């Protein structure tokens, strides 16, 4: 048996260091997987049960050997973890002291021996930790990392008497690393702001006594008290009182929503006005906030193709540049018959330039900046790969009920085909008796509209997804479903059935058609606007696939401006339609499916990108999808496309910026036109520019 352990890791802001830790931990016997997300400060390890008693100690030991400043603690203890003063300010203090000594030495000290001593002191103050890591890694056989490159370059500069430049370069490098760390933390804070919705404790009502328990201990059915101004700790149904709730943190809804007894409220919502009593519908692990947190936390496990490519690229890129530097230092003097000192300096520039940090860090940072920005808009993306895919969507297939329409169906008419046999009330009674055992918007509409006592004896209930339900109600065989379901059961059609073109549901009793229930639904306010915006974004293939009647689907499609639609489709038929579109799609383009129901889960899973409506959507639809719209707002789909495209554009800019500047400085160095200062800019400076460029994605959550 294997299990997964999650740690909070800090003090690591270099992707290369993270990769080394992952590799070293993965070498341990019994470790199946090791993954670090430096943007989220998260370290996931999958291991055998045999390591359970010593996994923490072993992992911490390995991490500290590779990165002395790293802090690693189990995720469940992370809330109590605080950064120490020295961890935050030691680097700026060291750099300030180093630069002060450098300036004094350069301008005031004339004694050569004293100057050398002071330069060495200034150099060691700012760079002792870099030298230590370089020596330690060399002893382990790890040559091509950032510390090694900076150490060789600056120590080499000392040997060719470039004392001031070597010291200043090391100090500037440390400044760049410090601000890079700050930038990563800024992105990390933006991404993890979602976690503030969690409530640590819940006030549980036991008789007349209120006791406070950790939210993880709340059980289904517990009665809890939520005071004005407090967040709902778990998903609940209000049992006493009325209030208004603030859902901005959950769905982005700006206006308070009034709620009363019988209404449900999701965790993370804020109680605005009065004390209420509510019953827990789910445990914390299954609550709305927990679900959102898991989605964001797990997003790092699915890397985008660009991110994976850059990681592989840097693995080969650095050694190539290092060997090129050796060629410049050792061979070029022989070819050109010029002094070794000149070419050694140029080779040192090569070494500093070769560090791939700007490439390796900016790509995942750009991806997670997009994920964080979209999470602010209540669009949860489950992985970086879906940001990249969403940027290339050119086909979208919509479900109808609960997706394009509100999903809150209402019973418009109940018809009895033979009132002498069954009244309209009895048609409604038999239908509601069966439908209370189903979980579908149609079922909920039929049951909620029956305003009489409903206490039947129901047996042998069987549900047929997308078609209907049958069973025995008070000893009579009852079936409720669409027309094709009635034909499937061998029930004879009635003349009345031919006149009800927009009828949603038929009901039979004892294998004889008895009546119908006509439902109505309303289109979401932003549906037409969403379709128009998608077309402006060059998503040309937009269609509806629904299990509803042709008349209803055609009406909705017409009002939304959608030309292509398919009606009366079973789940497997929906799946086939989406698979056909995926087979015909253009190269490097993707097909998205948008749905909300249990019936949509297979299509959401198979499609290139599955998008679910998170508030009204079923649990299975949310779990099966790749992107979740928490506010059920269709306008968030164009937003996700725009944000994804913006992120991928910035990532490409970063890659071009980093590679082009590095190559330019390398070329200039061959002709003696670049210095170590320029090399440090091409390394740390470009990394900072790439990080700053990535953070543009966070500045505006709506575009």
Statement: residue 31 has pLDDT above 90? no
Confidence of residue 536 (pLDDT cuts 50, 70, 90): very high
Question: What does the pLDDT average to over 278-296?
Answer: 79
Q: How far apart are CA 292 and CA 299, in angstroms?
A: 11
Instruction: State the chain's mean pLDDT as an integer.
Output: 81
Statement: residue 83 has pLDDT above 50? no
What is the reported pLDDT for 81? 40
State CA 99 to chain mean position distance: 42
What is the reported pLDDT for 84? 43
Place of tokens 């750099």: 95
What is the reported pLDDT for 634? 92
Work out the end-to-end distance of the chain between its first and last CA atoms, rounded to an integer number of angstroms: 46
Statement: residue 500 has pLDDT above 60? no
The secondary element (H helix, E strand) that includes residue 178 is helix 163-192
As given in the structure block, the two tokens for residue 321 are: 């540049």
For the stretch 101-151, pLDDT in tens is: 988 998 888 888 999 999 999 999 988 888 888 888 788 776 766 777 778
Higher pLDDT, 322 or 224: 224
- The strand ranges marked E within 486-607 are 505-509, 512-520, 541-545, 564-566, 590-595
Strand order of the β-sheet with 276-280 is: 209-214, 201-206, 223-226, 276-280, 236-240, 264-265
Q: How far apart are CA 55 and CA 48, in angstroms?
A: 10
Q: Which residues contact 630 (CB under 8 A, 6 or more apart)?
A: 250, 251, 252, 292, 378, 379, 380, 614, 615
Confidence of residue 309 (pLDDT cuts 50, 70, 90): low
Q: Which residues contact 560 (CB under 8 A, 6 or more apart)?
A: 404, 523, 527, 528, 531, 544
Higher pLDDT, 259 or 148: 259
For the stretch 670-682, pLDDT in tens is: 888 888 778 877 8
Confidence of residue 376 (pLDDT cuts 50, 70, 90): confident
Q: How far apart are CA 609 and CA 574, in angstroms?
A: 15
Statement: residue 80 has pLDDT above 50? no
What is the reported pLDDT for 497? 63
Q: Is the dihedral of CA 342, 344, 348, 349 positive or negative?
A: positive
User: Residue 222 has what DSSP assignment?
Assistant: -
For the stretch 630-667, pLDDT in tens is: 777 899 999 999 999 999 999 889 888 888 888 888 88
Statement: residue 86 has pLDDT above 50? no
Residues 436 and 460: beta-carbon distance below 8 Å: no
User: Residue 523 has what DSSP assignment?
Assistant: B
The secondary element (H helix, E strand) that includes residue 216 is none
**86-90, 351-355, 487-491, 687-691: lowest mean pLDDT where?**
86-90
As given in the structure block, the two tokens for residue 173 are: 């490098």
Among 69-78, 267-276, 502-511, the range with the most confident prediction by mean pLDDT is 267-276
Statement: residue 85 has pLDDT above 70? no
Confidence of residue 502 (pLDDT cuts 50, 70, 90): very low
HSE (side-chain half, CA atoms, 13 Å) at 298 = 13
Place of tokens 């101004």: 229
Of 422, 399, 641, nearest in space to 542 by CA: 399
Q: Is the dihedral of CA 391, 394, 395, 399 positive or negative?
A: positive
Statement: residue 36 has pLDDT above 60? yes
Domains in the chain with CATH codes: 2-82 (3.30.70.100), 86-191+300-367+646-698 (no CATH), 219-282 (2.70.150.10), 382-405+523-632 (3.40.50.1000), 410-520 (3.40.1110.10)
For the stretch 555-598, pLDDT in tens is: 899 999 998 999 888 788 889 999 999 998 888 899 999 988 66
- What does the H/E/C string look like for 610-648? EEEECCCCCHHHHHHCCEEECCCCCCHHHHHHHHHHHHH
For the stretch 193-216, pLDDT in tens is: 555 667 888 999 988 888 988 888
Statement: residue 628 has pLDDT above 60? yes
What is the reported pLDDT for 82? 40
Is 399 assigned a catalytic role?
A: yes
What is the reported pLDDT for 42? 75
Statement: residue 458 has pLDDT above 70? yes
For the stretch 403-449, pLDDT in tens is: 898 867 788 889 898 888 889 999 999 999 999 888 777 888 899 88
Percentage of the chain beyond pLDDT 70 is: 83
What is the reported pLDDT for 61? 81
Question: What does the pLDDT average to over 242-247?
Answer: 86
**55-64, 288-297, 621-630, 686-695: lowest mean pLDDT where?**
288-297
Strand order of the β-sheet with 512-520 is: 410-416, 512-520, 505-509, 476-481, 468-473, 458-464
Strand partners, 523: 405
Statement: residue 79 has pLDDT above 60? no
Out of 145, 246, 394, 399, which one is annotated catalytic? 399
Other Cβ atoms less than 10 A from the Cβ of 3: the count is 13
What is the reported pLDDT for 69? 67
What is the reported pLDDT for 430? 93
What is the reported pLDDT for 648? 92
Question: What does the pLDDT average to over 495-501?
Answer: 59
């Amino acid at each position: 048996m294997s299990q997964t352990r999650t740690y909070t890791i800090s003090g690591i802001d270099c992707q290369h260091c993270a990769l080394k830790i992952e590799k070293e931990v993965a070498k341990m016997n019994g470790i199946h997987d090791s993954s670090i997300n430096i943007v989220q400060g998260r370290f996931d390890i999958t291991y055998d049960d045999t390591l359970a008693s010593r996994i923490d100690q072993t992992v911490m030991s390995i991490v500290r050997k590779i990165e002395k400043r790293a802090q690693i603690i189990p995720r469940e203890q992370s809330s109590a973890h605080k950064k120490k003063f020295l961890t935050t300010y030691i680097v700026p203090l060291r750099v300030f002291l180093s630069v002060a000594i450098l300036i004094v030495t350069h301008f005031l000290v004339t004694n050569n021996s004293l100057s050398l001593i002071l330069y060495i002191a200034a150099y060691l103050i700012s760079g002792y930790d870099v030298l230590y890591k370089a020596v330690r890694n060399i002893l382990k056989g790890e040559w091509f990392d950032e510390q090694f490159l900076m150490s060789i370059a600056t120590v080499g500069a000392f040997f060719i008497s470039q004392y001031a430049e070597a010291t200043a370069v090391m100090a500037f490098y440390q400044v760049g690393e410090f601000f890079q760390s700050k930038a990563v933390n800024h992105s990390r804070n933006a991404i993890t702001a979602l976690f503030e919705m969690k409530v640590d404790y819940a006030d549980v009502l036991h008789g007349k006594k209120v006791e406070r328990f950790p939210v993880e201990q709340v059980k289904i059915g517990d009665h809890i008290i939520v005071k004005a101004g407090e967040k709902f700790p778990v998903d609940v149904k209000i049992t006493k009182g009325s209030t208004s709730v603030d859902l901005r943190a959950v769905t982005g809804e700006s206006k308070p929503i009034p709620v009363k007894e019988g209404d449900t409220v999701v965790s993370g919502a804020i109680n605005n006005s009065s004390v209420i009593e509510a019953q827990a519908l789910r445990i914390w692990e299954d609550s709305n906030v927990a679900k959102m947190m898991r989605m964001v936390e797990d997003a790092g496990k699915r890397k985008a193709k660009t991110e994976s490519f850059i990681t592989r690229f840097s693995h080969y890129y650095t050694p190539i540049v290092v060997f090129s530097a050796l060629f410049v230092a050792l061979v070029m003097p022989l070819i050109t018959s010029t002094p070794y000192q000149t070419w050694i300096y140029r080779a040192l520039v090569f070494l500093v330039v070769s560090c791939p940090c700007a490439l390796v860090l900016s790509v995942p940072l750009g991806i997670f900046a997009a994920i964080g920005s979209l999470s602010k808009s209540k669009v949860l993306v489950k992985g970086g790969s879906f940001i990249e895919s969403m940027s290339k969507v050119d086909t979208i297939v919509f479900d109808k009920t609960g997706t394009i329409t509100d999903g809150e169906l209402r019973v418009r008419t109940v018809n009895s085909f033979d009132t002498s046999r069954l009244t309209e009330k009895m048609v409604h009674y038999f239908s509601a008796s069966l439908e209370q055992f189903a979980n579908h918007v149609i079922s909920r509409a039929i049951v909620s509209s029956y305003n009489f006592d409903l206490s039947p004896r129901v047996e042998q209930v069987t549900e047929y997804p997308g078609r209907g339900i049958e069973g025995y109600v008070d000893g009579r065989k009852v079936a409720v479903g669409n027309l094709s379901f009635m034909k499937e059961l061998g029930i004879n059609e009635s003349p009345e059935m031919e006149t009800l073109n927009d009828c949603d549901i038929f009901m039979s009793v004892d294998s004889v058609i008895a009546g119908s229930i006509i439902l109505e639904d309303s289109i979401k306010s932003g549906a037409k606007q969403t379709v128009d915006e998608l077309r402006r974004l060059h998503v040309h293939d937009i269609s509806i696939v629904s299990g509803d009647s042709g008349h209803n689907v055609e009406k909705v499609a017409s009002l939304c401006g959608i030309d292509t639609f398919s009606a009366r489709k079973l789940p497997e038929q929906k799946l086939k339609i989406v698979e056909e579109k995926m087979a015909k799609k253009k190269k490097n383009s993707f097909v998205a499916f948008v749905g909300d129901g249990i019936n949509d889960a297979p299509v959401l899973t198979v499609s290139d990108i599955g998008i679910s409506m998170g508030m009204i959507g079923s649990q299975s639809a949310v779990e099966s999808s790749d992107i979740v719209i928490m506010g059920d707002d269709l306008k968030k789909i164009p937003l996700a496309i725009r944000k994804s495209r913006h992120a991928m554009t910035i990532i490409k800019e970063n890659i071009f910026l980093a590679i082009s500047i590095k190559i330019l400085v390398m070329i200039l160095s061959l002709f003696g036109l670049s210095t170590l200062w320029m090399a440090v800019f091409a390394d740390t400076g470009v990394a900072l520019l790439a990080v700053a460029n990535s953070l543009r994605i966070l500045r505006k959550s709506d575009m």
